[in-house]
A and B are shown apart, each in its own frame.
Chain A
Amino acid sequence: MLRLSLKNLFARKWRTAMTAIAVVFGIALVSGTYVLTDTTNGAFDDIFVRSNERIDVTVTRQEQVRQFDGSVPAFSESYLKRVRSVQGVEVAQGSVFATGSILNLENESTGAPFAPQFISSGLPSRLSSIEYVEGRKADRPGEAALDLEAAKRGGVEIGGRIRLIGSGPARLFEVVGLTQLGGASFGGTSIAQVTLSEAQSLTGREGRFDQISVGGDGTVSDEELRDRIAEVLPADLLVETGQENADRQASDIRDGLSFLTIALFAFAAISLLVGSFVIFNVFSITVAQRTREFGMLRTLGASRRQILATVLAEGVLIGLIASGLGLLVGIALAEGLSALLSVFGAELPSKSLVIAPRTIVASFIVGVGVTLVSSLIPAFRATRVPPIAALSENVLQTGRTRLWIRALVAIVLAVIGVALIASVLVDDIEGGAGAARIGGGAVALVVAISIFSPRLIQPMVRLIGIPVRAVGGLTGRLATENALRSPSRTAVTSAALMIGIALVAFVSIFASGLNSSVTDVIDQNLEGEIVLQGPGGFVPIPPEAVREAAKVDGVRAASGIRFAQIKVAGSGERQLSSVQPDTVDQVIQVDWAEGSPRALAELSGDKAVISQGLSSAERLAIGDDFRVLSPTGTRTKLEVIGIMASGNLDLLGDIVVAEPSMLENFGVAEDQFALARVDSGADVEEVKNRVADRLDRTNFPTVEVLNQEELKDRQKEQINALLALIYVLLALAVVVSLVGIVVTLILSIYERTRELGMVRAIGMSRRQVRRMVTYEAVITAVLGAIAGLILGILFAFLMGIPLEGEGFVLSYPIGTLALILVLSALAGVLAAVYPARKAAKLDVLEAISYE
């Protein structure tokens, strides 16, 4: 019987290939993601292991609360003496490793877009793994060594000059060396090394280190040395062996990138779900078409089990072919995926591709699994063909599942789906578990809809058919009727497209809502007309720059805002911000739930303003105290003096303190952004230009000076860049569903050969036949698009409800949604090209001849 399956597949090469394509993309995304993350993680492992190669023990600050930018607070350099005094230590050196900006003389960044840039101090050669490709170490003031890649990007050579910016104004350095770390790329990251004292002063770390690196004298093991050093240091310092430190950093990166893996797998799952619809349809149709063949096999004595086995074997074989192809495409894709991500700003370090056995096994299990499951129901249907079917002239309709069973299954699935999604929203389940529930819920819902949709399809197709008939006349009429002939077939075909369109619609509505919410907050809450921010808004700005801006003629006030991630006792991580109480009222306006509207201006010491969310979560009222844990590990008691109304989009986070408290208790010395208010009557553009000029002159070239409209544009650009990336990944699912339309049409045309021959014989032209097929494809596509749009709008609406309190306003991008509809119709035309040609080319004589 396996031979029969093989022969069947081979005899229908074309159909086999199309069916396989349905899952190839999904598998490619699975294997591509594995290869990409394995390769990336491997490259990071390499970097960290290599840079710690000669270091036996490291000392760093214990991380209390993870910060968004990954920074860990520095610690006092006084500990170095204690470390050096430990028995078994040969050398110990403190160093700085902090984010900053590296510019060439034209003030162009030497970094890849979005990739971090670091200012560091070098280590003695006993501890350093850095290789000097050219030149030497920076060991005099005013000298710097730059990594080779950054030098290439910035067009800087030995003897050339660069500007380094840490927590203060830019300073000029001469490049005396070009470095690299064992030939590994840092993935766009660039590093400049200067002398220790300069690194400290550049980054505002006077008297402090980020790390102490230790080389042992060889008398004790690394572990023993680590324990000895830990004994002389306080508990808030973390002492690790070089290997442990490398492993921890690598696993931090891995965790940091895991969202990427999860996101890519989610897109793979979407693509596979769509693919499984296509496979289900192809198998359903072919089983129906082969009814006589199955009947014949039964008359020859084949058992039901054997029939089941032949159909399932075909599924498995297609799964194997698709998995193999998908694996290969995925490996090729890994390179492409990496390139795609770097276009959108997430450059990853590269080395030769890592293809783990797990990647291969997972690809095959998923590919064969999806195909097998999708062909299960059609296979069981094939077993119900009675032997008499072989003898009957007309193709017998195999027993269909009873309507009430379908309805019941659909309702149960829909309830499960809604419950799963609701449970996430209600219980606030985060991370992978939440994503899995939402995903599972969505799958259940979509399957429920597609089971139930043959019922809904009649009126919808008729509706879509109205314009089609108006345009196409008879051909439009016939196309409409043909689409309705097998409602479940049309339903499944368009449901596949519906999934992709629903997600596209959901994402575009959400992005549009995000855009308009951001715009609202900027319009309503920002009183300052001018915004200062670091490159792209990701890098903090030196407070000195804000002070310079305040001095500009026409600026009434300039006020900086800082952020830190902290823990509230009993309530988990929260975002804390600080304002400058003397000027904050001039630049920011928030809505109040409780307390004086001037509470922000009244902040000082341990006084704090909190969000309504935190207030209700922790039952905090005005006058209450609460405890927080800072990034540096200190515990601080804060007193509530005001509660902000929700609806400010978390502009200031959950807790606001005064700036001096931020520096003292939370160790944050730089502003995330700053706002400037111009004198009444002053021209904003003029003042803005003067501020920009002054910041340039005072050596703050990286600070971006924007008006509110420009700020809105920047935010939109960021949201749209992410949107574009999501669209590209969703496009895969849409393409799969279009393949589904193509296969279904071709199979339907094959079924209607006789009919097509007849209408051709009585005078229908090839053109009319082509049109008829095209209209049918357009109807199917538009049906899927409309259903998808409705579903997407519904999801966006539901998801928007809980976010409303946080100031999230949904907005419906009518233009985009209309465009989706038009593009879907065009996609239908595209999908029909081949089937329509095939139908038009049909040999009339052959079609009407009896066998």
Chain B
Amino acid sequence: MEQDKQKGAPGGSIVTARGLERVYGEGEAAVRALDGVDVEFEKGRFTSIMGPSGSGKSTLMHILAGLDRPTAGTVEIDGVEITDLDDGELTELRRDKLGFVFQFFNLLPVLTAEENILLPLTIAKRAPDPEWVDTVVERVGLSDRRSHRPAELSGGQQQRVAVARALVTKPAVLFADEPTGNLDSKSSADVLELLRGAVDEFDQTVIMVTHEPDAAAHGDRLIALRDGRLVHDAPPVSADAVIELLKTLA
């Protein structure tokens, strides 16, 4: 944690994207999902990405996380240029430097909650730091659910396991893709509070794609896309303001 704090000098950019373009298909049928996006993400901040359907917000996140490749442009994560990496290197990057929380299918049903949380470390064959694991598990409030299987957990609890899993490696960036899309409002609030806490208490960097104004309001910064371009970049004021913003975009 000490090290993280040093590295995470405020204002330092942890993710930098330059001139990102992503074209699907060819010729007449070609779709420009991203059309020249330049964006930087600072260490230790919680950024929400919004935009109407087809705006390119998911594509942007996928490219930033090394899950998809841009047609043009570059992405740098924690000082590493990732657009040149091959599949094996990308896999290692995701394993060691990134954390993920998805909307569905976050957990392996055959493993217990704790095993799911430790999964990235197990995959990497790294020994977990027990203290840190305890801290994370306690923070997400699952101390008494460690040995439960996902099927025995509520949707909200499952999503909290996913957050814990994303935190356990102390990633450079935590990506969340509609993390509350499938939850009731109480559980949604819990998960967003956790992500907020990850940034405030553990100095993590969170980038979240969402279409829920409430969720976006939890962030330090809100960027919005339309037709593959960045059209808004400012701290969110309130959920209502976000709704207004979305209306103008639509």
Contacts and interface: CB of A to CB of B under 8 A. Distances in A.
Given A482-B110, A762-B95, A763-B92, A848 B125 contact: no
Contacts of A478: 108, 110-111
B110 A481 contact: yes
B88 interface: yes
Interface stretch (A303-311, A522-530, A752-760): A752-760
A766 B165 CA distance: 20
Contacts of A848: 67, 102, 105, 177
Nearest to A479: B110
Given A845-B68, A850-B104, A766 B110 contact: no
Contacts of B122: 473-474
A379 B65 CA distance: 44
A92 B113 CA distance: 97
Interface string A735-769: 00000000000000000001101111111111010
A2 to B, nearest CB: 35
B27 to A, nearest CB: 22
Nearest to A765: B91
Contacts of B65: 761
Nearest to B178: A850
A759 B87 contact: no
Interface string B77-116: 0000000000110011011101110111110111100000
Interface string A121-144: 000000000000000000000000
Contacts of A768: 123
B124 interface: yes
A757 B67 CA distance: 10
B124 A763 contact: yes
B120 interface: yes
Contacts of B99: 762
Nearest to B122: A474
B62 interface: yes
Contact of B94 (A474, A482, A485, A761): A761
A618 to B, nearest CB: 66
Contacts of B125: 473-474
B123 A764 contact: yes
A844 interface: yes
Contacts of B68: 845
A645 to B, nearest CB: 61
B95 A758 contact: no
Contacts of A474: 119, 122-123, 125
Nearest to A844: B67
Nearest to B115: A477
A835 B94 CA distance: 24
B94 A758 contact: no
B108 A762 contact: no
B67 A761 contact: yes
B129 to A, nearest CB: 17
Q: How large is the interface on B (under 10, 10 to 19, 20 to 34, 35 or more residues)?
A: 20 to 34
A763 B95 contact: yes
Given A473-B122, A763-B92, A766-B91, A758 B111 contact: no
Interface string B113-144: 00000011011110000000000000000000
A762 B120 contact: yes
Interface residues of A, number: 25
A763 to B, nearest CB: 2
Nearest to B175: A761
A848 B111 CA distance: 19
A758 B120 contact: no
Given A474-B123, A482-B110, A845-B62, A763 B94 contact: yes
Interface in B46-72: 58, 62, 65, 67-68
Contacts of A760: 91
A840 to B, nearest CB: 10
A34 to B, nearest CB: 48
Interface in A758-794: 758-766, 768
A755 B108 contact: yes
Nearest to B149: A481
B120 A763 contact: yes
Q: Which of A481, A757, A760, A762 has the most CB of B within 10 A?
A: A762
Contacts of A763: 91-92, 94-96, 98, 120, 123-124
Contact of A845 (B67, B91, B95): B67
Interface string A464-506: 0000000001100010011011000000000000000000000
Contact of A758 (B62, B91, B96, B105): B105
Contacts of B100: 758, 761-762
Given A474-B123, A478-B110, A758-B105, A764 B62 contact: no
Contacts of B177: 848
B183 to A, nearest CB: 13
Nearest to B165: A762
Nearest to B87: A766
A380 B109 CA distance: 28
Nearest to A483: B110
B88 A765 contact: yes
Given A481-B110, A482-B110, A845-B62, A762 B94 contact: yes
A768 B122 CA distance: 11
A474 B165 CA distance: 16
Contact of B105 (A481, A484, A754, A765): A754
A761 B101 CA distance: 10
Given A754-B105, A845-B67, A848-B102, A762 B110 contact: no
Nearest to A474: B122
A758 B162 CA distance: 11
Nearest to B67: A845
A759 B91 contact: no
A763 B123 CA distance: 7
B111 A481 contact: yes
Nearest to B125: A473
A758 B102 contact: yes
Contacts of A849: 58
B227 to A, nearest CB: 20
B105 A762 contact: no
Contacts of B110: 478, 481-482, 484-485
A695 B99 CA distance: 88
B119 A762 contact: yes
B58 to A, nearest CB: 8
Contacts of B96: 763
Interface string A824-851: 0000000000000000000011001110
B5 to A, nearest CB: 24
B101 to A, nearest CB: 10
Given A474-B122, A845-B62, A845-B68, A758 B92 contact: no
A839 to B, nearest CB: 14
Contacts of B119: 474, 759, 762
A756 to B, nearest CB: 10
Contacts of A762: 94-95, 98-100, 119-120, 123, 165
A474 B104 CA distance: 22
A779 to B, nearest CB: 13
Given A764-B95, A765-B88, A766-B91, A758 B106 contact: yes
Interface string B21-65: 000000000000000000000000000000000000010001001
A76 B100 CA distance: 99
Contacts of B94: 761-763
A487 to B, nearest CB: 13
B104 A754 contact: yes
A761 B68 CA distance: 11
A481 B112 CA distance: 11
Contacts of A761: 65, 67, 94, 100, 102
12 contacts: A473-B125, A474-B122, A485-B110, A762-B95, A762-B119, A762-B165, A763-B91, A763-B98, A763-B124, A764-B91, A845-B62, A850-B104
Interface of B: 58, 62, 65, 67-68, 87-88, 91-92, 94-96, 98-100, 102-106, 108-111, 119-120, 122-125, 165, 177
Q: Which 3 A-B pairs have the closest CB atoms?
A: A763-B95, A481-B110, A754-B105
